[in-house]
Amino acid sequence: MSTPDALRSALLAAPSIAHSPSGSGLFFERELLPRLGIAEQVLPKSRRWFPDRIGAVVARGDAALGLQQVSELLPIAGIEIIRIPDETGRVSLASAALARRARQPGAARQLIAFLASPEAAEAVAATGLDPLRR
């Protein structure tokens, strides 16, 4: 699925599609399919799954194709992860903040600094997330 046309073809060819009921699933239903011009053909064979992880739904054969964030798919055995083209996806940002009444603000600051550091980049990338780039 290296191009939008390849993604469109894969979605049209899939006999069944699983997606999450929030975040990535809403993006799939409301933005991606209309942008690709295939919502009418694909939505009837798509299903929101909850509380199951989408990768697990695909691994056990309940859907032929599943769409969810890479970080959610990586821990699931028995599936092949294929990234959609950058121009068709959406980046979800994760952020950290210090609570005003934190019990250990120094430790919280150290954790946030570590997660944003080059030393943590490899571990962050291993979870399917993109490390912070400075």
pLDDT tens, residue by residue, 17-75: 999 998 889 999 999 999 999 999 999 999 999 999 999 999 999 999 999 999 999 99
Q: Does residue 90 have a pLDDT over 90?
A: no
| SS3 at position 48 | strand
The per-residue pLDDT for 134 is: 62
Structure tokens at 35: 């942008």
Contact partners, residue 111, CB within 8 Å, separation at least 6 = 96
Q: Does residue 6 have a pLDDT over 90?
A: yes
| 19, 46 Cβ separation under 8 angstroms | yes
